[in-house]
């Protein structure tokens, strides 16, 4: 394998019997102080397929006259990272066995090898992550149809993991890659600028380094902060539903271009949840051995600087809707059901794939007939559910409006006392 670099992207050329070009050099193996492999353009990592966390490399593989682009994940030469990589390889092997044609949209491992203590894993080449595309597009959110299609694929891929007794545990926009990140430039008259309009919305799920089988030890804390489920924060144990919570947060972010829970502190995170989703169930508060509750209620000072930040920057979930059209209401109903506090009450991905929000997925983009609506009775039940949910949301909004008025009146008292509140870690 020969390393090539261009614009911070590293390429690896490989063939069954690779002969180094004049520009190539024999690799002098060197690591930096953090254990990362130090290499230059033209380095040969592996002369042929090897057998068998720093994913910064792309790979170009040559088989005779056939060129294939691959991505190469090169792991730090540090024991704990090597051990974690071997666990990921085990998961990837299981995925390959269960899904040899990549039908279920999980990235495919082509091979792996050990290069002087660095575990290297070769994958199919994909495009930008949905997060990086969003970032490079000035956080202009995806269209509703793209949100629908990406969310549908994500639910389908993660359901496959759950069906095979796996929890991903680290779902986030950075771990969802576009198959093709080509775009067109379209003028945005409202913002008076050109934005990128994504051409295709097919995605793949990546990064199984934290994936956990049902029978394996479950670490107390999993998931990246912004996508972490309440049962994880409260240390109540977790399983497949924690992935569903993460998907709900991701769908919100794709729709609006902003993170739903922008925080780095557990207590503030829980306060944001209560502001957006309502009160955390007392049974969960009572079961938790954490110190975030007092007499079954969240111990949170609403009138300190942190409390005012949460109040001013968070609002009930449905108030984030950009339109009251049916499609938008369907989306937010699904997100709401994914963000149920109690994991036992949270919607499953089998149920999510049958949600009305996905009814408009065109037939050519569906994966099987099981995702079609089962019956008119289901729709009628769903409609009744929406009517009840809308009534609850109206009552909740009235409560929040009254609460906001109360806090506006009390803000004057606290305006000069911020020094007594704790400062946010942002």
Short-list 148, 86, 144, 90, CA closest to 117 = 86
What letter would DSSP give residue 8?
T
**Six token digits for residue 57:** 């490399």
Q: Please tell me the predicted confidence (pLDDT) of residue 22.
A: 33
Splitting the chain (426 residues) into consecutive groups of 10 residues, what average pLDDT does each group show?
42 36 48 79 56 39 55 90 94 97 96 91 94 96 98 99 98 98 92 92 96 96 98 98 99 98 97 98 96 94 92 97 98 99 98 98 81 44 53 54 53 43 39
Fold classification of 128-368 is: Transferase(Phosphotransferase); domain 1 (1.10.510)
Gap between the Cα atoms of 151 and 166, Å rounded: 19
Q: Please tell me the predicted confidence (pLDDT) of residue 29.
A: 74
Q: Compute the C-alpha angle 110/114/117, nearest 5°.
A: 145
- Whether 30-124 shares its CATH topology with 128-368 is answered no
**What is the model's pTM?**
0.80
**Helix segments in 239-295, DSSP class H:** 241-256, 266-277, 282-287
Q: Residue 50 belongs to what H/E stretch?
A: none
Q: Please tell me the predicted confidence (pLDDT) of residue 27.
A: 47
Domain ranges of the chain: 30-124, 128-368
Instruction: Answer for the pair 142, 200: CB distance below 8 angstroms, yes or no.
Output: no
- 3-class SS of residue 30: strand
- DSSP characters over 217-240: ---SS-S-GGG--HHHHTT----T
Gap between the Cα atoms of 293 and 62, Å rounded: 59
What letter would DSSP give residue 189?
T
| Active-site position among 170, 181, 207, 243 | 170
Angle between helix axes 266-277 and 305-313 (nearest 10 degrees) is 40
Angle between helix axes 326-338 and 144-163 (nearest 10 degrees) is 30
- The CATH code for residues 30-124 is 3.30.200.20
Gap between the Cα atoms of 405 and 142, Å rounded: 34
Q: Catalytic residue at 170? A: yes
CA distances from 25 to 1, 2, 89, 116 (A): 12, 9, 29, 17
Q: Compute the C-alpha angle 22/26/31, nearest 5°.
A: 135
- CB burial readout 270-308, b (16+ within 10 A) else e: bbbbbbbbbebeeebbeebeeebbeeeebebebbbbbbb
- 3-class SS of residue 107: coil
């Amino acid at each position: 394998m020969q390393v090539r670099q261009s614009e911070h992207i590293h390429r690896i050329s490989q063939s069954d019997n690779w002969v180094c070009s004049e520009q190539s050099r024999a690799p002098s193996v060197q690591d930096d102080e953090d254990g990362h492999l130090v290499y230059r353009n033209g380095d040969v990592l592996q002369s042929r397929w090897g057998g068998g966390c720093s994913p910064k490399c792309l790979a170009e593989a040559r088989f005779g006259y056939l060129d294939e682009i691959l991505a190469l994940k090169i792991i730090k030469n540090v024991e704990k990272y090597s051990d974690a990589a071997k666990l990921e390889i085990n998961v990837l092997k299981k995925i390959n066995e269960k899904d040899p044609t990549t039908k279920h949209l999980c990235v495919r491992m082509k091979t792996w090898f050990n290069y002087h203590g660095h575990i290297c894993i070769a994958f199919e080449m994909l495009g930008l992550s949905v997060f990086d595309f969003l970032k490079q597009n000035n956080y202009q959110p995806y269209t509703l149809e793209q949100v629908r299609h990406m969310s549908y694929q994500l639910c389908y891929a993660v359901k496959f993991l759950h069906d095979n007794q796996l929890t991903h545990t680290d779902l986030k926009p950075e771990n969802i890659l576009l198959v093709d990140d080509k775009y067109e430039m379209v003028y945005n008259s409202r913002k008076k600028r050109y934005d990128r309009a994504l051409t295709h919305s097919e995605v793949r799920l990546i990064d199984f380094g934290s994936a956990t089988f049902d029978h394996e030890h479950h670490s107390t804390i999993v998931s990246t902060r912004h996508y972490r489920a309440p049962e994880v924060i409260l240390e109540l144990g977790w399983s497949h539903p924690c992935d569903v919570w993460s998907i709900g947060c991701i769908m919100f972010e794709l729709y609006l271009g902003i993170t739903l829970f922008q925080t780095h502190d557990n207590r503030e995170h829980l306060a944001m949840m209560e502001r957006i989703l309502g009160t955390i169930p007392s049974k969960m508060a009572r079961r938790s051995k954490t110190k975030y509750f007092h007499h079954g209620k969240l111990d949170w000072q609403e009138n300190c600087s942190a409390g005012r930040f949460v109040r001013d920057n968070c609002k009930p979930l449905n108030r984030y809707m950009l339109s009251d059209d049916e499609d938008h209401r369907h989306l937010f109903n699904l997100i709401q059901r994914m963000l149920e506090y109690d994991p036992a009450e949270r919607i499953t991905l089998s149920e999510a794939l049958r949600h009305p929000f996905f009814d408009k997925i065109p037939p050519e983009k569906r994966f099987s007939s099981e995702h079609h609506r089962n019956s008119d009775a289901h729709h009628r039940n769903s409609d009744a559910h929406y009517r009840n949910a809308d009534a609850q949301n109206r009552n909740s909004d009235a409560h929040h409006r009254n609460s906001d008025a109360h806090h506006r009146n009390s803000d004057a008292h606290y305006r000069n006392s911020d020094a007594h509140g704790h400062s946010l870690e942002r």
